[in-house]
A and B are shown apart, each in its own frame.
Chain A
Amino acid sequence: MMSVHVVPDLMPALPELILAGMAMLLLMFGVFRGNDSTRTVSWLAVGTIAVAGFFVIVGPSDGVETFSQMFIVDQFAVFMKVLVLIGSGLAIVMSFGYIRTEGMERFEFPVLMMLATLGMLMMISSNDLMALYLGLELQSLALYVVAAFKRESLRSTEAGLKYFVLGALSSGMLLYGCSLIYGMTGATSFSALTAALSSDGDVPIGLVIGLVFLISGLAFKVSAVPFHMWTPDVYEGAPTPITAFFAVAPKVAAIALFLRVMMSPFGGLFAEWQQVIIVISIASMVLGAFAAIWQDNIKRLMAYSSIGHMGYALVGLASGTAEGMRGTIIYMTIYLVMNIGTFAVILNMKRAGNMVENINDLAGLARSKPLMALAMGIFMFSLAGIPPLAGFFAKFYVFLAAVNAELYALAVIGVLASVVGAFYYLRIIKIMYFDAPADGLDSAIVPEMRIILSVAAVFTLFFFVYPAPFLAGAQAAAQALIP
């Protein structure tokens, strides 16, 4: 006789179920209504994401596990899921104008974005190596497709293909690592792994090799050096609103996954993985700072900027303390807002109806569109980490954690790299304010874009006035990770 199984508790996964169900419904709706319904489907997708966000917030958050311990919802998951949902929702809203003018108005677009978001939520909540892999693949597969979505553009197709091939390679490494870990411990569940690894004694070398492969796979997803090669090409080639999406939501989800995997099952192996994370972090910060100096394409520049920022975010993880986790979580929050704002500006860089992407196209923006230039200036100063803007506090909290964990070299290199990085952010400000104006950019800016831009700018500018709720939220989230 087989044992009788009860239906698993579905309530913790309610936001995911809503997203999955609505994605399929909207797909059907789109199939029957044709591509004219893209706008309706997009708004419904944004609405669904908002509803899912509501259920994330009101849902359980006390470390409840379901689906035979494969799925966990704790304070950390709630915080990161809200960030991801904000990033995804805004990315869909920002894509409205673009997909209409660039002829990619197809109803599958918002549906794929929803499914990618679903994958990210599953990544954040994963409590098992298999669940981790499936969430990651769900997310990546949808992202490969949207990267190549503008199929008559050679660059977009190339971006999609390149992303796919390298992504498949990284998934292979991740799976190889998972299989080694499973082979050594006999468990895939994070709680069983924690139990198996907390006992003292020699760590088998196979386990460490497996862990390094796992880290490589995850480092690819957050585009940390030396697994960053795909980032500039994919960011440049993908349609701009999709680049904006890539720069925020998947990064937040992948960092969340990174933190959970490192701290929760492998927290006992801290001594083994700390040096790997330190090396990855230093390499990312330095490469992000230096390689961006020579870029003229603003999307490429943002790609290198994003590589650098991932390096800073990993500084918090390298410290391995609750304070470090809090720093990383705050970093990702502020990173999300700054990037959404910056890409809102980039999406409005149009001349005679065509998108332009060169940095020099921003010349004289201060005179033609002073408010947009001011917002862009705020984001650039903040990305560079100049006080009292939000970006300064993001860096402050991770470096503080690194210093308290006695990682002085890491903190010093980080600060030096951010000084170098400040060069190219300030160069954009210089071009906007002091260079001879180029032909003016189109001044049509849609209301939703204006709202996103203003909110992001106000948040970045006045974060220091009242950071307490974010700090408290991040603190609670970090505590959930540390057993």
Chain B
Amino acid sequence: MILQALTFYLLAAVTLASGVMVISARNPVHSVLFLILAFFNSAGLFVLMGAEFLAMIMVIVYVGAVAVLFLFVVMMLDINFAELRQGFLQYLPVGGLVGLIMLVELLLILGGWAIQPQAAAVAAAPTPAVANVSNTEALGALLYTRYIYLFQAAGIVLLIAMIGAIVLTLRTREGVRKQSISQQVSRRREDAVEVKEVTSGSGI
């Protein structure tokens, strides 16, 4: 048990520290690398909780796709992050005020916290007993049966996102030199090379 607690505090501390580093690092590439570290550690936290599927998804999706995409963006776009951060002090009072209001709201909610007595039972109902199935299996079974409607709807949302991205950005430009493989392959020696007799002592 003590080992588990120690692991938890280690992972949590590293996650928090790298979270702070993400926003305070001077070099944006370092920020992204710290973000990846934070993702790995939160994946570790998920494993501790017995949610191994979420842990894997965290690594595959967030580290494998999202963070790498961020890295590309940071490296390819020439953004001066120091300049972006300049207004920080100027906006601090307003931001602080908004944060304070949100805090008060949250305290109000927590102060009046009264969960419906049946809430826990209602929320737990659809999941099968943990002992019987691995959580990957349980998630899959729920996703494809009970939540099939939402699953398909989310699929269509992604389809729209794809159509939208293509419609708004793809343009066929004139005068671009493209490689035409069939043309290259069908080209024969006679079309490309001309053999000339060069008599000695004179140029071509």
Which of A's residues lie within 8 Å of B, judged by CB? 1-3, 5, 8, 13, 20, 24, 27, 67-68, 70-71, 106, 108, 111-112, 115, 118, 122, 130-131, 134-135, 137-138, 141-142, 144-145, 148-149, 151, 160, 180, 182-187, 192, 196, 202, 204-206, 209
When the two chains form their complex, are residues A145 and B168 in contact, meaning their CB atoms are under 8 A apart?
A: yes
Q: Are A2 and B146 CB-contacts (below 8 A) given A186-B116, A196-B118, A209-B109?
A: no
When the two chains form their complex, are residues A186 and B167 in contact, meaning their CB atoms are under 8 A apart?
A: no
Q: Which residue of B lies closest to A104 (CB)?
A: B167
Which of A20, A68, A108 has a CB less than 8 Å from the CB of B156? A20
Q: Are A145 and B149 CB-contacts (below 8 A) given A187-B123, A192-B122, A209-B109?
A: no
Which of B113, B118, B132, B154 has a CB less than 8 Å from the CB of A186? B118
Q: Is B1 an interface residue (CB 8 A)?
A: no
Chain A proximity mask over B40-53: 1 for CB below 8 Å, otherwise 0: 00000000000000
Q: Is B115 an interface residue (CB 8 A)?
A: yes
Binds A, one of B18-26, B158-166, B175-183: B158-166
When the two chains form their complex, are residues B115 and A186 in contact, meaning their CB atoms are under 8 A apart?
A: yes
| 22 A-B pairs with C-beta separation under 8 A | A2-B128, A2-B137, A13-B149, A68-B147, A68-B149, A70-B150, A112-B163, A115-B159, A130-B147, A134-B153, A135-B153, A138-B160, A148-B168, A149-B167, A149-B168, A184-B116, A185-B122, A186-B116, A186-B118, A187-B119, A187-B122, A202-B114
When the two chains form their complex, are residues A209 and B154 in contact, meaning their CB atoms are under 8 A apart?
A: no
Q: Which residue of B lies closest to A151 (CB)?
A: B168
When the two chains form their complex, are residues A204 and B163 in contact, meaning their CB atoms are under 8 A apart?
A: no
Q: Is B157 an interface residue (CB 8 A)?
A: yes
When the two chains form their complex, are residues A134 and B157 in contact, meaning their CB atoms are under 8 A apart?
A: yes
Which of A20, A182, A186 has a CB less than 8 Å from the CB of B120? A186
Distance in angstroms between the alpha carbons of A234 and B114 in the assembled complex? 42
When the two chains form their complex, are residues B160 and A2 in contact, meaning their CB atoms are under 8 A apart?
A: no
CB distance from B155 to the nearest CB of A (A): 10
Distance in angstroms between the alpha carbons of A115 and B162 in the assembled complex? 13
Q: Which 4 A-B pairs have the closest CB atoms?
A: A186-B119, A205-B112, A145-B164, A67-B149
A182 contact set on B, CB distance < 8 A: 123
Distance in angstroms between the alpha carbons of A187 and B141 in the assembled complex? 20
When the two chains form their complex, are residues B148 and A186 in contact, meaning their CB atoms are under 8 A apart?
A: no
A24 contact set on B, CB distance < 8 A: 159
Distance in angstroms between the alpha carbons of A180 and B110 in the assembled complex? 11
A206 contact set on B, CB distance < 8 A: 109, 112-114
Q: Is B184 an interface residue (CB 8 A)?
A: no
When the two chains form their complex, are residues B119 and A145 in contact, meaning their CB atoms are under 8 A apart?
A: no
CB distance from A185 to the nearest CB of B (A): 5
Which of B's residues lie within 8 Å of A, judged by CB? 105, 108-109, 111-116, 118-123, 128, 132-133, 137, 141, 145-150, 153-154, 156-157, 159-161, 163-164, 166-168
A142-B164, A206-B112 given; name 11 further pairs at CB < 8 Å.
Answer: A2-B133, A67-B149, A68-B146, A71-B149, A112-B160, A112-B163, A112-B164, A115-B159, A149-B168, A187-B123, A204-B113
CB distance from B129 to the nearest CB of A (A): 11
Consensus secondary structure, chain A interface: helix
Distance in angstroms between the alpha carbons of A118 and B157 in the assembled complex? 11
Q: Are A70 and B149 CB-contacts (below 8 A) given A1-B132, A186-B123, A209-B109?
A: yes
Q: Which residue of A lies closest to B163 (CB)?
A: A108
When the two chains form their complex, are residues A131 and B120 in contact, meaning their CB atoms are under 8 A apart?
A: no
Distance in angstroms between the alpha carbons of A67 and B143 in the assembled complex? 12
A68 contact set on B, CB distance < 8 A: 146-147, 149
When the two chains form their complex, are residues A131 and B149 in contact, meaning their CB atoms are under 8 A apart?
A: yes
When the two chains form their complex, are residues A185 and B116 in contact, meaning their CB atoms are under 8 A apart?
A: yes
Q: Are A138 and B153 CB-contacts (below 8 A) given A2-B128, A8-B148, A149-B167?
A: yes
When the two chains form their complex, are residues B133 and A141 in contact, meaning their CB atoms are under 8 A apart?
A: no
CB distance from A156 to the nearest CB of B (A): 10
B156 contact set on A, CB distance < 8 A: 20, 115, 118, 138
Distance in angstroms between the alpha carbons of A470 and B192 in the assembled complex? 77
Distance in angstroms between the alpha carbons of A192 and B128 in the assembled complex? 20
Distance in angstroms between the alpha carbons of A182 and B164 in the assembled complex? 32
Distance in angstroms between the alpha carbons of A137 and B164 in the assembled complex? 14
CB distance from A119 to the nearest CB of B (A): 8
Which of B114, B115, B145, B161 has a CB less than 8 Å from the CB of A5? B145
Distance in angstroms between the alpha carbons of A122 and B148 in the assembled complex? 14
A8 contact set on B, CB distance < 8 A: 148-149
Which of A108, A115, A184 has a CB less than 8 Å from the CB of B115? A184
B137 contact set on A, CB distance < 8 A: 2
CB distance from B141 to the nearest CB of A (A): 5
Q: Which residue of A lies closest to B111 (CB)?
A: A205
Which of A67, A112, A134, A135 has a CB less than 8 Å from the CB of B148? A67
CB distance from B127 to the nearest CB of A (A): 11
